[in-house]
Amino acid sequence: MQTIEHHKPYTLRFFKLPISDKIQLTALLYLTIWVSSPFLAYGSTYRLLAFASIFVWILVELFRKNNIFIKPPLYLILTLFFIFYTTLISYNVDGISAINRNIQFYMMLFFIFIYAAYERRSLYLLKPIVYINIILFTLWAVTTYKGLLIDPHASRYVIKSNAYARQLMQQGVGGFAFIYSLLIYNISVLALLRYKYLKYKKFSIFTYFLIFSVGISSLVILKAGYSIAVILWVLSMVFFFFYSQNPIKNIFLLFFIIILYFFLQSYLLDMLKLLYNSIDQGAYRLKLGDIIASMEIGKVTGTTADRVERYMRSLMIFMEHPIMGIWRIAPIGKHSLVLDTFAQYGFFMGIILIYILLKIPLDLYIRIKKAKALSVTILALAILLISLNNVAMLYGFILYLFYPYIIKELSSH
């Protein structure tokens, strides 16, 4: 099968690609649409098509001369080992329910294999998929924002398996995974604007569309009621805009961000209320009131104290079973992917997980010299997201395909 040199920074036209690339990209396009689109979350047909897309992509890859299974890099070998080991342990302890519970996480890890394949051939092949998903992410941000205007609880309700959750998702309302994935999406598109379109004064309809996309995705993050997401959004914006090539300045910036994080944890809601009371009646006051209401909902439904208790539960289990872990899922906190892995599978599997999840963003930070503000911000977000939350399939696409393509494109300018 034909391959395309990975170092050529040119636009690849889909209809001129080899048939193998067309098949894989078509399968991958459906898979990315499936993981990002709320209304496709329910329905066995959609799910079967997603698994079929994965099967087709792997099958075509196996017939390539230089496929990723020939001399795979270390992180792919460790990813396969992690999946095999955790599946074996989970199945023996908790039965088939453990496999069903982990399937989304394993599908997230599958995007690491996809990255490895296109990094070996050409990340530029991903351009149509990335730009189609920019349009779709903007659409889902709009429908999610509309849902939040009607019901401020909407993004929290969609994670429940009931009729109302299904109704919300069919209306295009995104939930937990979508909101937190918007953090990486938001910064990546902002970098695309900052370093490509605005820097070179490329003003077009698409430029204004990107500006709108950044704006609406920011509004959704602020309004969805996830206080941790709001804080991470603020911190990532500060880091992105004030990152410097001077290491001394960055040390001071890091200390400032740490102080700002703890300050926002304690006083952000009070500050917004103070600002709200100082503004006269108007549209801005109404929007600020909506954000305050959403954050208060978040505090009621998912308190910081509850998070800390869950983190400590996993940490204490790990301290009691540091080598092999407890193996069972029931006793652990279930609120931090990293801490839960250490608690369930022990020290070595925890270290392997951290390595495979952060290998790609860390490599991109080290290798690509341009757009450092983007790469360091994404690396920080990746660390925080796997430490503070569980993860979902959408993380895999946005962190291992969407962002790498964006920074690769920026590095060619």
pLDDT along the chain (413 residues), means of 10: 42 74 95 93 89 96 91 95 92 80 90 95 93 96 93 82 84 91 95 78 83 95 84 87 72 67 63 66 58 56 65 88 86 85 93 96 90 91 88 91 94 76
Instruction: Say if 48 falls within a structural domain.
Output: yes
Instruction: Say if 265 falls within a structural domain.
Output: yes
Separation CA 375–CA 396 (nearest Å): 16
Separation CA 383–CA 362 (nearest Å): 10
Q: What is the pLDDT of residue 11?
A: 47
Instruction: Say if 7 falls within a structural domain.
Output: no
Rg from Cα positions in the chain:
21
Instruction: Say if 1 falls within a structural domain.
Output: no
Q: What is the pLDDT of residue 103?
A: 87
- Reduced to 3 states, what is the DSSP secondary structure of residue 280? coil
Full residue range of the structural domain in which residue 160 is found: 21-302+346-411
| pTM > 0.75: yes or no | yes
Q: What is the pLDDT of residue 243?
A: 79
Instruction: Say if 189 falls within a structural domain.
Output: yes
Q: What is the pLDDT of residue 134?
A: 96
Separation CA 103–CA 101 (nearest Å): 6
Q: What is the pLDDT of residue 330?
A: 76
Closest to 136 in 3D by CA, of 37, 29, 39, 34: 37
Scanning 44-126, the segments in alpha helix (DSSP H) are 44-62, 74-94, 96-120
Instruction: Say if 388 falls within a structural domain.
Output: yes
Separation CA 280–CA 52 (nearest Å): 56
Q: What is the pLDDT of residue 7?
A: 43
- Reduced to 3 states, what is the DSSP secondary structure of residue 232? helix
188-191 contacts, C-beta under 8 A, 24 or more apart? 188/374, 188/378, 188/398, 188/402, 188/403, 188/406, 188/407, 189/134, 189/213, 189/214, 189/217, 189/406, 190/214, 190/240, 191/240, 191/371, 191/373, 191/374, 191/406, 191/407, 191/410
Instruction: Say if 127 falls within a structural domain.
Output: yes
Instruction: Say if 4 falls within a structural domain.
Output: no
**Domain count of the fold of the chain:** 1
